[in-house]
């Protein structure tokens, strides 16, 4: 195993997190159909999609450790995704105001040489402050988080929307559970420190 590491994601946020570990890796866009898994539970959904993303690039990287990750936000037992528009983001943040949203992040480390996948799910809970419409509009005008599940960027001004956060790894909220990923990489023989 040459320990080539590949991030199967187009997320600039996941790429930035992985860069913090200080090793070289490649980034590639996985081409998958995410719509076929919408009828499953949030934890199983993110695990399935994380693994599918990692396996989607195995032909291009037959001797690599491939990282796949997927995240969904859940409010009232309903999955809320990336808003995609200002109007949808206003609706998401208005619905979350004064309430808890649970983020499920699935992580897969796929060893393509051995056809072996390590898959885990990490959860992170955010309690939102009671938000005024003007606060929501001001926030969205500043950060425009339309490609982020839940309509905020926790690594930016999004923390101003929160009352509290609960979870084992704050990177989970950004979309790549780094503590778990480090343990998975170490189990595959990659020395981080």
Find, among 79, 74, 20, 27, the residue nearest to 53 by Cα. 27
| Residues 153, 156, 161, 165, CA torsion sign | positive
Q: Which of 70, 76, 115, 169 is catalytic?
A: 70
59 is catalytic: no
C-alpha dihedral over 67, 73, 79, 82, to 10 degrees? -80
Q: Is 114 helix (H, G, I), strand (E, B) or coil?
A: coil
**Bridge-based pairing state of the strands 26-28 and 4-8:** parallel
Find, among 104, 97, 87, 94, the residue nearest to 149 by Cα. 104
Eight-state DSSP code of residue 50: H
CA pair distance 70, 47, nearest whole angstrom: 7
Strand runs labelled E in 56-99: 64-75, 78-80
Q: What number of residues does the chain have?
A: 193
Q: Show which residues are catalytic.
A: 70
């Amino acid at each position: 195993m040459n320990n080539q590491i590949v991030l199967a994601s187009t997320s600039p946020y996941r790429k930035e997190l992985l860069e913090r570990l200080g090793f070289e890796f490649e980034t590639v866009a996985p081409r998958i159909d995410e719509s076929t898994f919408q009828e499953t539970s949030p934890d199983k959904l993110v695990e399935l999609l994380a693994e599918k993303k990692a396996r989607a690039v195995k032909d291009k990287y037959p001797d690599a450790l491939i990282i796949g990750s997927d995240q969904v936000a859940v409010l009232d037992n309903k999955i809320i995704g990336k808003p995609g528009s200002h109007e949808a983001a206003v609706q998401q943040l208005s619905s979350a105001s004064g309430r808890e949203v649970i983020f499920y992040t699935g992580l897969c480390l796929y060893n393509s040489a051995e056809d072996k996948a390590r898959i885990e799910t990490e959860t992170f809970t955010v309690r939102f402050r009671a938000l005024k419409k003007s606060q929501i509009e001001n926030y969205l005008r500043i950060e425009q988080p339309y490609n982020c599940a839940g309509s905020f960027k926790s690594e930016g001004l999004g923390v101003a929307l929160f009352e509290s956060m609960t979870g084992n790894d704050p990177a989970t909220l950004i979309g790549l559970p780094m503590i778990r990923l480090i343990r998975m990489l170490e189990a595959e023989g990659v020395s981080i420190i």
